[in-house]
Amino acid sequence: MPDSTLDRRRFLELGGTALVAGLAGCGASAPAEDAAASESSSPNQNQPTADAASEYTEVYRNTIDSVVLVRAGQGQGTGFAFDDSHVVTNAHVVGDASAVDVRFSEGQWSEGEVVGTDPHSDLAVVEAEDVPSPVTPLPFIEGDPVIGQEVVAIGNPYNLNGSLTSGVVSGIDRSIPSPAGYRIPDAVQTDAAVNPGNSGGPLMSLDGRVVAVINSGGGDNIAFGISAALTQRVVPSLIETGDYEHAYVGVSFVNVTPGIADANDLDEARGLLVTNVVPGGPSADVLEGSQREYAQDTPVPVGGDVLLAIEGTELATTEDLGSYLALQASPGETVEITILRDGNQRTVDLELGSRPASSTA
């Protein structure tokens, strides 16, 4: 902590300001006097002795040089080095800005150009002009995280630069809101404390690899991050072209529950029932939607196709379809979808489109 610490009242005022900025973890910029006090210290000061160090200490020491503060207008968040000149953060952190300020762990500032944003995945890339020599790209995990795996979040909550919190992976394959109104699939849930200012920072495994890019948190020990797998798919495209095209089916659907199965005379509750097909979308004239009617005094969708599998991958939940489209499919590809229509199982070919700018499109 810096010598000039925040008193309790000032800390709570700052916390209130940041919370108003939103649950998404993007904090408001600190007033000049508090920012100066915070910036006068280095997160690497007061290193613990060897006897006091822990696994968390080791991860922190190996990671902190590559974690940055990203300031855009009146808000700020966190980011980390993806390669020698590019920093990953959240799209909601940079907003509509074309340029941001980047502060490295030892206090150096650099101007940064926003080279790409993807509100669908809430990811953005900033190219920093001057990168200090200790900064190295952070590696990503291979494969999927496991529930119960220990992790640490490193970032800048409430303008407290270089803070570390610890927890475990609480869930995987979650579906969370995106700034574009769609859902972000394959997300990682954690109970590590995440607060305004942590957005865009890394959720790290204890062997020093990025598990997820933090994008939301702040309540009831539940926080979320964009998975390493989705991040590694989106970010290279943001660097190369400035955007990323997501595969799009153009339907609305719900999980088939026992009640829906009963209303539709289905033998079992499985798959996804198509409730609506977007006119002119990729599924128009390929898939059929349902009509919302009353059954047993409860409004449930009746009729329409039931999606059972895509390219042989079973669709047990809505997350299954979202993860397949996000991680394995691309616009323009033709995929084989197994459906149940009028009690008969069949396959149809569907050419995937590109997702519209917002979910209302």
Do residue 140 and residue 223 come from a single domain? yes
Return the amino acid letter for 351.
E
Number of domains in the chain: 2
299 or 49, greater pLDDT: 299
Do residue 264 and residue 226 come from a single domain? no
Euclidean distance between CA atoms 106 and 43, whole angstroms? 7
Decide: 106 and 132 in contact? Cβ < 8 Å: yes
pLDDT in tens, 172-217: 999 999 999 999 999 999 999 999 999 999 999 999 999 999 998 8
Which pLDDT score is estimated for 41? Answer: 44
Which pLDDT score is estimated for 17? Answer: 36
pLDDT in tens, 150-160: 999 999 999 89
Do residue 289 and residue 225 come from a single domain? no
pTM value surpassing 0.75: yes
Q: Is residue 321 part of a domain?
A: yes
Among the ranges 52-61, 267-276, 297-306, which has the highest mean pLDDT value? 267-276
Residue range(s) defining the domain that contains residue 37: 8-241
Last residue of a domain, one of 193, 209, 241: 241
pLDDT in tens, 311-355: 999 999 999 999 999 999 999 999 999 999 998 999 999 999 999
27 or 84, greater pLDDT: 84
Q: 334-341 and 150-155: which strand pairing?
A: unpaired
Which pLDDT score is estimated for 37? Answer: 43
Residue percentage of the chain with pLDDT more than 70: 83
Which pLDDT score is estimated for 220? Answer: 77
Do residue 255 and residue 237 come from a single domain? no
Which CATH number characterizes residue 268's domain? 2.30.42.10
Q: Is residue 3 part of a domain?
A: no
pLDDT in tens, 62-112: 999 999 999 998 889 999 999 999 999 999 999 999 999 999 999 999 999
Do residue 215 and residue 311 come from a single domain? no
Q: Is residue 135 part of a domain?
A: yes
pLDDT in tens, 117-164: 999 999 999 999 989 999 999 999 999 999 999 999 999 999 899 999
Q: Is residue 361 part of a domain?
A: no
Do residue 218 and residue 122 come from a single domain? yes
Q: Is residue 34 part of a domain?
A: yes
Q: Is residue 2 part of a domain?
A: no
Do residue 251 and residue 229 come from a single domain? no
Which two three-digit tokens encode residue 287? 């898939």
Which residues are part of the catalytic machinery?
Answer: 92, 122, 199
Last residue of a domain, one of 212, 241, 270: 241
Which CATH number characterizes residue 185's domain? 2.40.10.120
Which pLDDT score is estimated for 47? Answer: 55
Q: Is residue 359 part of a domain?
A: no
Q: Is residue 141 part of a domain?
A: yes
